[in-house]
Amino acid sequence: MSHIFRVGNCAGFSGDRLDAPIPVVDTLVRSGGPAAIFFEVLGERTVALAQLARRQDPQQGYEPMLERLVAPILGTCFRNNIPILGNFGAANPPAAARLIAKIARRLGHDDLRIAVVAGDDVRGHIDLGGLEPHEADAGLEGDANACIAANAYLGAASLVQALHEGANVVVAGRTSDPALAIAPIVHHFGFSIDDWDRMAGAAAAGHLLECGSQVCGGTFWDPGPKVVPDPADIGFPIAEIDDEGVLTITKAENTGGLVDERTVKEQLLYELHDPANYITPDVVVDISQVRVAQCGTDRVRVEGVRGRPAPSDLKVTACYQGRWLGEGEITVAGMNALRRARETADVLLERLRRRKLDVRARADLIGIASVHDNDAGDLWRGFNGTPPDEIRVRLAVEGSNADDVEQAAREVLALLCCGAAGSGGARWRVTPRILTKSFLVPRERVPTSVSVRPARELA
């Protein structure tokens, strides 16, 4: 019987199901073997929203659902020696650590050790102005946009150090998503961080797990060809790694969802470009020769992952204040709905023209064509099929003048009295947008630090 280490994922994004962690932790406890869990809750723009929250209140700026995610499993994990890692520190890891310490003390676990990983936040430390952008949003107006956040995607090294120092919970801000799984695997097996194939296997485990339920039937189920048991309770994933580095993907017991070759293939390629060059801060992963094989119910073995040396640069993503987004929607229903919907869209666009509002605009006919369409509405304008009985007309506008954007969105509201017959259910809103720009920065310019303290000392 080979020796197995398990890593469970308990969240794949900020906004994920809050009841996911308990079955994962219960499964790991029942397995009786060594294990760790991680939470991945930091999307590209999430850290900017967190920085804005921290500006409003210096005690905020971490994952808003942190207490609800962690409190139900913190004590069980501590008593069973299952470390918890997460990028839930977002823009304020020290404040997140204080909250976790408070929960730990409430549970009577004053000895629970909490690590704070620092160094990812490079805003003000690195002059990004002189660097060539790596990836940038269209419409980013250079220095005219105020920089809200700039964070480097850290690798696993500082997370491993935190575990070496006995951390029960590791609170990070921006890390690469796979690093949250790589770290406990490296820490457990103790292989060298330049053992590239082992590192690549660990990174593949992280990649497959980082989106939570997406490898267990989430973003997958399609009644008919892709039936997933109980999509209302999809179990979150667990990776098993043995001492040879063999990787098996499975999921929490007593839950819905499924793990099969199809779910693993979809997630393996998710957000990947060249499969032979998946770049992480810790290793360049080559999955081009990977094979997957079902090896039991809800168990899929992944073989053939190869690795090459880690890149010398780290990716830094900066977030800037963008323009304003205004949206409004109204439904038309019943006979002749398509003609009324088309005219409603045209009337809205005409209103913006007549009022000379300084916005870029688009109209959608939800139910006819929207997500697959373009700004000109070529698909819904050219539609000649059988129309549905109800169509939701959507107006979206963008501009740098907040008032013009709001006035444009309110045109949808005005249709409650001025609109077509049989139209109702108007909603509108205005939200600020965030733009991103990425840079490559030599890793030696991004020093990191780790501080590990018991809950009793973190007040």
Partner 1 sequence: METIIELPLYAIAHSRAGDKGNRTNISLIPYRPEAYRLLSDQVTEERVLALFKHRGATRCRRYDLPRLAAFNFVIDDALEGGVNGSLNVDGHGKTQSFRLLSLKVTLPRSSAEGFVGPSLSVEDFMRTEE
Task: For the segment 97-136, give every residue that binds partner 1 (CB under 8 A).
Answer: 135-136
Taking the C-alpha atoms of residue 281 and residue 260, their distance in angstroms, rounded to an integer, is 29
Binding residue for partner 1, selected from 4, 76, 94, 137, defined by CB under 8 A: 137
The separation between the first and the last C-alpha atoms of the chain, rounded to the nearest angstrom, is: 45
> Which region, judged by CB under 8 A, interacts with partner 1, from 94-102, 149-157, 359-367, 413-421?
359-367
Residue 361 touches partner 1, criterion: CB under 8 A: yes
C-beta neighbour count of 4 within 10 angstroms:
15
- Smallest distance, Å, CB 361 to partner 1? 8
Total residues in contact with partner 1, by rule CB under 8 A: 57
Binding residue for partner 1, selected from 207, 306, 315, 362, defined by CB under 8 A: 362
Query: Considering just the CA atoms, what is the radius of gyration of the chain in Å?
Result: 24
Taking the C-alpha atoms of residue 36 and residue 24, their distance in angstroms, rounded to an integer, is 10
Taking the C-alpha atoms of residue 275 and residue 412, their distance in angstroms, rounded to an integer, is 45
Binding residue for partner 1, selected from 292, 408, 415, 452, defined by CB under 8 A: 292
Taking the C-alpha atoms of residue 99 and residue 82, their distance in angstroms, rounded to an integer, is 19
Taking the C-alpha atoms of residue 257 and residue 234, their distance in angstroms, rounded to an integer, is 4
- Smallest distance, Å, CB 366 to partner 1? 7
User: What Å distances lie between residue 8 and 5, 165, 312, 395, 456, CA to CA?
Assistant: 10, 21, 29, 41, 27
Query: How many alpha carbons lie under 13 Å from residue 82 in its C-beta half-sphere?
Result: 30
Binding residue for partner 1, selected from 434, 441, 452, 455, defined by CB under 8 A: 434
Residue 142 touches partner 1, criterion: CB under 8 A: no
> Which region, judged by CB under 8 A, interacts with partner 1, from 88-96, 158-166, 284-292, 418-426?
284-292
By the 8 A CB rule, do 167 and 83 touch?
A: yes
Task: For the segment 296-355, give every residue that binds partner 1 (CB under 8 A).
Answer: 304, 322, 325, 327
Task: For the segment 382-411, give every residue that binds partner 1 (CB under 8 A).
Answer: 394, 396-398
Binding residue for partner 1, selected from 4, 17, 22, 45, defined by CB under 8 A: 45
Residue 431 touches partner 1, criterion: CB under 8 A: no
Binding residue for partner 1, selected from 105, 262, 299, 308, defined by CB under 8 A: 262
Binding residue for partner 1, selected from 267, 280, 331, 344, defined by CB under 8 A: 267
Residue 274 touches partner 1, criterion: CB under 8 A: yes
Strand stretches in 12-152, DSSP E: 35-39, 84-86, 113-118, 133-136, 147-152
Closest to partner 1 by CB, 292 vs 314, is 292
By the 8 A CB rule, do 112 and 452 touch?
A: no
Residue 268 touches partner 1, criterion: CB under 8 A: yes
Rounded to the nearest 5 percent, the helix, strand and coil shares of the chain are 30, 30, 40
Handedness of CA 221, 371, 15, 262 (dihedral sign): positive
Task: For the segment 215-254, give every residue that binds partner 1 (CB under 8 A).
Answer: 219-220, 222, 224-227
Binding residue for partner 1, selected from 58, 273, 297, 444, defined by CB under 8 A: 273
Q: What are the residues binding partner 1 (CB under 8 A)? A: 45, 135-139, 219-220, 222, 224-227, 262, 265-276, 287-292, 304, 322, 325, 327, 360-362, 364, 366, 370-375, 378-379, 394, 396-398, 433-436
